[in-house]
Amino acid sequence: MGRQLRLRLDRALRSGRSDFAVSPANAEALGAVDAWPAWPGGALCLVGPAGSGKSHLAAIWVARTGAVAWDGRTSGGPVLLEDADRCGSEEVLFHLLNRAAEGHGLLLTARARPAGWPAHLPDLRSRLNALAVAEIEEPDDLVLSGVLARLFAERSITPPEDLIPYLVRRIERSVPQARALVERLDEEAAALHRPVTRALAREVLEAAGEVSD
């Protein structure tokens, strides 16, 4: 039987507090976020590599505080600015840090520590150097296992016991990469009329040029 085309549906990874897999890689960052509103200067910067869970932590904070994502307009409450190290506007950063110091609150996410961001405004440089930072590391085995289990559950897939440990040892330690792989497995299983198994995962990884055994 020929392979059938399948509609691709965007499925957002659940980002609630109960969906966050806590491990030594992110426990300190979670504690820092939970310390709100006792942040020095009213602001905190979450720093970590792409796919490490910064946006998930930010979503937890937004749900708790009612913060809004910065869209260029002044808000009366807490503000979230993601990818702050690529903001491109020193004036915006300076404005938001001033608001935070006045009690409104600010959570930033970034891949690099604020002390290394370019800043030509003298007052901004001093504020960035003083900004509280919480680092989140790339997902470890525990976090990646939890993410994969959640991704499979969201697609109503019950993976065999050996599948998640097999994947954890082989895939890039990134939430987006885990999401993409689960999507590929789901699509291949449907197209081939096969269950999602370790054997199928091996085929998918080998087709992608990744080493598998």
Q: What CATH number did the domain enclosing 105 receive?
A: 3.40.50.300
Are 190 and 116 found together in one domain? no
Any domain includes 12:
no
- Give the integer Cα–Cα distance in Å for 184 and 165: 18
Interval 118-138: pLDDT, tens? 899 889 999 999 999 999 988
Are 91 and 126 found together in one domain? yes
Sheet holding 106-110, edge to edge: 68-69, 79-81, 106-110, 43-47, 132-135
Any domain includes 3:
no
Candidates 52, 194, 200; CA nearest to 137 is 52
- Give the integer Cα–Cα distance in Å for 91 and 97: 10
Q: What local confidence, expressed as pLDDT, does residue 8 receive?
A: 37
Q: Is the pLDDT of residue 213 over 70?
A: no
Average pLDDT value over all residues in the chain: 86
Are 113 and 191 found together in one domain? no
**For residue 147, what pLDDT band results from cuts at 50, 70 and 90?**
confident
Cis (ω within 30 of 0) for the bond into 122?
A: no
Are 30 and 126 found together in one domain? yes
Q: Looking at residues 43-66, what average pLDDT do you find? A: 92
**For residue 53, what pLDDT band results from cuts at 50, 70 and 90?**
confident
Distance (Å) of CA 161 to CA 167, 177, 192, 193: 11, 21, 21, 20
DSSP for residue 72:
S
Q: Is the pLDDT of residue 63 over 80?
A: yes
Range of 154's domain?
Answer: 139-207
Are 33 and 120 found together in one domain? yes
Q: What local confidence, expressed as pLDDT, does residue 3 receive?
A: 30
Any domain includes 212:
no
Among candidate residues 108, 135, 162, the one where a domain is terminated:
135
pTM attached to this predicted model: 0.75
Q: What percent of the chain has pLDDT over 90?
A: 61
**And the tokens for 138?**
């790339």
Q: What local confidence, expressed as pLDDT, does residue 9 receive?
A: 36
Are 112 and 160 found together in one domain? no
| H or E stretch at 191 | helix 175-192
